[in-house]
Amino acid sequence: MLYLHNIGTYFLMIVEMFRKPTKWGVMKQLILKDIDDLIIGSLGIVAFISFFVGGVVAIQTALNISNPLIPKNLVGFATRQSIVLEFGPTFISIIMAGKVGSFITSSIGTMRVTEQIDALEVMGVNALNYLVFPKFISLLLYPFVISIAMFLGIVGGMIASVYGGFSTAEDYIAGIQLDFKPFHVTYAFIKTSVFAFILATIPSFHGFYMKGGALEVGKASTTSFVWTSVVIILLNYLLTQMLLS
Amino acid sequence: MIEVKDLHKSFDGVEVLKGISTTFEKGMTNLIIGQSGSGKTVFLKCLLGLFPYENGCISYDGKIFSELTEDQKRDLRGDIGMVFQGSALFDSLTIAQNVMFPLKMFTKQSKSEMEDRVDFVLKRVNLIDAHRKMPSEASGGMQKRVAIARAIVNNPKYLFCDEPNSGLDPKTAIIIDNLIKEITDEYDITTVINSHDMNSVMEIGEKIVFLKDGLKAWEGSKDTIFKTDNEVVTDFVYSSELMKKVRQMYIEEKQ
């Protein structure tokens, strides 16, 4: 019953988030601040992970295709496919559930504990619109982060392949151009957009409706990470089934 | 004036408010006192509309809160100022931005008009040169003054304070109490203060509502609280050695 209650509350939260909008002058500043915190602030870690995981994917692919009959451009092809289809949208989203999700839950949860949300409500401010809506809007730029992740993952793969002696730059570039299907990129960005919505709303839900003190803020952050990851994995499966099969 | 009739509130089947009826007068500092767990904060949050209640009626100058539309409730909230127990200042905003917040959200004032108003109210609560400080850089007393400044910046008709001097030293607590009293008189507003501090009762308790186990156990003023024979009230009021001595002196004086 509690799960059903929470699911219902989550959807009501989403509806409430769009009601009684905050003044545009104030909202603009909140959106810019959230873009800085959630998007710009995540670029470093996303770039670092993407680059090195791209390299690892390329090396592992190369090591598993030692058969001389298999063309060398397969390293680039496999790296591109892994990164565009799965690593970029899903793996990075799980990382973002930890980084951005925990930040959202703990910041909103702390506001709940210190009665700042009560203060907003007493003033007649729609606290959900004030706190969650800017996060939702700023995460509309999340596909931009994933584009960078895809690009750096493929570049990382190329550098690892070429400098590791697994493939030549020409073979790798030929591989990433091989049998390119634009719909795969569309599929990746559809997933990314759905995950962006999840990343903005589930952690906000856990922060906004938490009860208790500082200890519960920590617990809410952990719970939020678990549920955001679970929902991302489930939706990843459903979207893949719907869009690719 | 705020009128409360037969207010009931429960949490998970446990009744916390068991039918409270009282009136908070305009231009007065109305105190809700009682022991921890007596239902003071729940009562205050029901008055503010933060907690829905099961039964009863709350009216603000004749407007019944539960009968108002969402827009009317929002308008009414524009007339309410609130000082929270922990001040509830927004961490990410400076002191000046915290005070300016209600003006930014609900008025069409120009930036210079808002800045003038912020300067005025910060001066009124004796905070000068604190505009750029962050709440975390301010002392407890300063944070309370900022919270009061934020609560009055929009000229409210009703001011609510939840334990405004908790965690403050006695001298600062009296300064905060007196500031609230001065503001109440100056702006002729209805002030409701939640407290368990007897010093506050003595300083500013023009009307006192005593709660015990979710019920109104007594009602009076700072002048009558020492004369009452109500055992529940005397137990609370004379719980400290100092207050026992005060009572002894009072009785001796009477004899």
The ipTM of this complex is 0.84
Is the separation of the CB atoms in B166 and B84 below 8 Å?
Answer: no
Q: Does B45 touch chain A (CB under 8 A)?
A: yes
How many Å apart are CA B157 and CA B82, to the nearest integer?
A: 11
Residues of A in contact with B90 (CB under 8 A): 116, 119
Residues of A in contact with B91 (CB under 8 A): 110-111, 114, 116
Sequence spans of domains, chain A: 23-244
Q: What is the mean pLDDT of residues A214-219?
A: 93
Q: Does B77 touch chain A (CB under 8 A)?
A: yes
How many Å apart are CA A211 and CA A213, to the nearest integer?
A: 7
How close is the nearest chain A Cα to the Cα of B78, in Å?
A: 6
Q: Which of B80, B90, B102 sits opposite A116 (nearest CB)?
A: B90
Q: Which of B85, B86, B102 sits opposite A123 (nearest CB)?
A: B102
So what's the pLDDT on residue A25? 87
B23 forms beta bridges with B3
How many Å apart are CA B255 and CA B252, to the nearest integer?
A: 5
Q: Which residue has the tokens 């030549």?
A: A168
Q: Does A129 touch chain B (CB under 8 A)?
A: no
DSSP A5-27: HHHHHHHHHHHHHTSSPPPHHHH
- Asked if B104 and A125 come within 8 Å (Cβ–Cβ), the reply is no
Residues of B in contact with A15 (CB under 8 A): none
So what's the pLDDT on residue A232? 97
pLDDT tens per residue across all 255 residues of chain B: 899 999 999 998 889 999 999 999 898 999 999 888 888 989 999 998 888 898 999 999 988 988 888 888 888 888 899 999 888 999 999 999 999 999 998 888 899 999 999 999 998 888 888 889 999 999 888 898 899 999 989 889 999 999 888 878 888 888 888 888 888 988 899 999 998 888 788 788 889 999 998 899 889 888 888 778 888 888 888 877 877 787 778 777 767
Given pLDDT bands bounded at 50, 70 and 90, which one contains residue A48?
very high
Q: Does B93 touch chain A (CB under 8 A)?
A: no
Q: Chain A 9-38, CB below 8 Å of chain B: which residues?
A: 20, 22-23, 25-26, 33
